[in-house]
Amino acid sequence: MKSNVFCNMVGIEYPIIQGAMAWIADSSLAAAVSNAGGLGIIASGNAPVEVVREEIRKAKKLTDKPFGVNIMLLSSNAEEVAKLVCEEGVKVVTTGAGSPGKYISMWKEHGVKVIPVVASVALAKRMEKAGVDAVVAEGCESGGHVGELTTMALVPQVVDAVNIPVIAAGGIGDKRGVGAAFMLGASGVQVGTRFLVAKECTVHQNYKDKVISAKDIDTVVTGRTTGHPVRVLRNKLSRKYQILEKEEASIEQLDELGKGALVKAVKDGDTDNGSVMAGQIAGLISKEETCKEIIEEMFDLKSLLNKFDSII
């Protein structure tokens, strides 16, 4: 008999959150994930607030299931989007790349479930004290902005430190990753890279093809010198960036190179000169599937039970 604390909290069937990939996770992907029984997320990234509002309204037309909005806290309009989710009656908010402390009371007053992404035990504890409903503990295997710790090390330490549900993220790409996350004490998983290649994901086909053809060692973290480390698939841009970092280029110079680079890859399909954010699990991902097929494979967990036969 299934009874998962996180599913019950947000009203979904499978304890899986779709990662908030900036410029990629739109109403099409979010609604497809929610319709398949997971929690779809619209990533607001750096998008203008009216664009985010439009995506929320489109998602409401595409699904009657709960979905969420992610706020990227480095964005200059984070505060406006924080208010927007209240106005639009969004059920769940996730946050990334910082501490959402100053918005939490407003969200709670509006009945929004608040689930910040954390990369350390310290922030997880601070967030619990501030009254959030759950945390996503994201290891540095994930794509995009990353912390220091791996999922394997971070998740059990966060689980032991807080009394709210912990969702594991980073390096989870199939049912084996889901099983492992639950063994670490997680109550659910967040998955980004595998949903990148979902049929309902509107990212440029070149981006999907680059993820599908990636090998295990094809990601690299750039931007450690700027304080914004970002995991991407290795390409011409990442190599240029690494050379500049080695030459101790200024933050302004590095920021200039990164400006608009994600849009170049996501919308124009320029996977040589654009920023192709993806997690280390890209090497495992081999085909496009629907969100329903992805989620059903990831939660076909009974077949994993015999893994214990030789040790129990």
Distance CA 186, CA 6 (A): 10
Which residue type does 218 have?
D
Are 258 and 275 a contacting pair, CB within 8 Å?
yes
Token code pair at residue 175: 């049912």
Closer of 207 and 299 to ligand TUI (Cβ): 207
Closer of 72 and 184 to ligand TUI (Cβ): 72
Greatest Cα pair distance, the chain, in angstroms, is 58
**Using DSSP, how many helices (H) and how many strands (E) does the chain show?**
14, 11
Closest CB 22 distance from ligand TUI, rounded Å: 5
Residue nearest to ligand TUI (CB): 144
Closer of 72 and 298 to ligand TUI (Cβ): 72
Are 184 and 159 a contacting pair, CB within 8 Å?
yes
Q: By C-alpha distance, which of 191, 181, 192 is closest to 159? A: 181
Residues that bind ligand TUI in the complex, under the rule CB under 6 A: 22, 45, 72, 74, 96-99, 117-119, 123, 138, 144-147, 228, 230, 277
Are 193 and 201 a contacting pair, CB within 8 Å?
no
For residue 210, what are the CA distances in angstroms to 133, 203, 205, 214?
A: 36, 11, 9, 6
Closer of 87 and 256 to ligand TUI (Cβ): 256
Token code pair at residue 55: 């995506």
Closest CB 138 distance from ligand TUI, rounded Å: 5
Closer of 239 and 307 to ligand TUI (Cβ): 239
Q: What is the CA radius of gyration of the chain?
A: 18
Closer of 28 and 151 to ligand TUI (Cβ): 151
Closest CB 305 distance from ligand TUI, rounded Å: 32
